[in-house]
Amino acid sequence: MLPELFGEYFPTVSDARASVALARAYNDWANDFAAAGDGRLHPVAVVPMADVGAAVAELDRVAARGMKSVLLRPMFYAIPDEKGRLDGAWVIQTSGQGGENPVGVYVDHPGFHPVWRRVEELGLVACVHPYLGIANQEATSEGSFVERVAEKLGIGHSVTEPVAYLQDNALFVVIAAFHGLLEDFPNLKLALLHSGAAMVPLSLEKAETYLWLSPQSVLGADKPVCLEPEEVFERSRVVVGFDGWESSAVRLLDFFADKGAWGSRYPHHDASTPADALALCERYEVPEAIVARLLGGNAADLFGISVLATV
């Protein structure tokens, strides 16, 4: 049970104390709501990334309440000081251009490692779930930029939804490969959701290409990373969500048989049903044992539950 509008607007809260209070209130509500589902609903917690210490404490609290997963949105987060200015240690310098991202730092920044580490230690699933981003400052995520470009092109309607979700999670996969996130946290459980499956093998292959083309970017760093990101991904505990109409997930079984997880995007207008996913598997003659894994087994194993239902 993932937050929809809440996940879009929550990162815009600039007051750290308000962010902590909102996270606690939402998590308590989501947990109570899911309890009425008789074990069929599993809420995903949120954490106040504006206060890393409070985020870690909230992870402990929700885990104690029985929650099994947490939302970590793939975006840049602002970390203000007492005067509302970004701490220089948190600002990303744009290589060779002398600029900086005014929004802050990416979700995998070392400053956020205490959050990732506690997620790993608690055995929670880190749900990497993008949002439209049109309510957020540009440079936070892809959505606001895509919307501005669409407006300039005179398209006449939003094109953010078919573009931004995929771009945000693809960026996360590439950055994780270049920064060694899965190597730093080898027991991390990760779910890539709401962005389709096709972009994952492509992003990993392109990351590998450029890691090999520019090995000095990692081999000369304080912490070099593996030049074979697809191998790292393969041995990691990851599932990739796919929709009932997304044929690549059932055609590339060498990649997705143990990583794919069908999920409904309800209440979105393009949500699919289990019947859609079953029909897709039947069309491409997927073996029954793999169908069972794609339609629940992989996700249930990762989340440590016997029945998975999300809304």
Tens digits of per-residue pLDDT, 209-245?
888 887 655 555 566 788 899 999 999 999 999 999 9
Strands 44-45 and 69-71: what pairing? parallel
CB 219 within 8 A of CB 198: no
CB atoms within 10 A of CB 100: 13
pLDDT at residue 140 in the model: 85
* Gap between the Cα atoms of 122 and 120, Å rounded: 6
Least confident range from 61-65, 158-162, 292-296: namely: 158-162
**CATH, range 5-303:** 3.20.20.140
Look up residue 176 and give its two tokens: 């994780």
User: Is the model's pLDDT at 35 over the cut of 70?
Assistant: yes
**Mean pLDDT within 98-119:** 82
**Closest of 72, 62, 73 to residue 32, by C-alpha:** 62
**Closest of 40, 44, 38, 41 to residue 62, by C-alpha:** 44
User: Is the model's pLDDT at 280 over the cut of 50?
Assistant: yes
Measure Cα distances from 170 to 33, 75, 229 in Å: 32, 12, 13
Q: Is the pTM of this model over 0.85?
A: yes
CB 146 within 8 A of CB 163: yes
> What average pLDDT does the structure give for the chain?
85
**Mean pLDDT within 125-154:** 87
Residue pLDDT, tens place only, 68-101: 999 999 998 876 555 444 444 444 333 444 456 6
**DSSP per-residue string spanning 100-130:** E-TT-EETTSGGGHHHHHHHHHHT-EEEE--
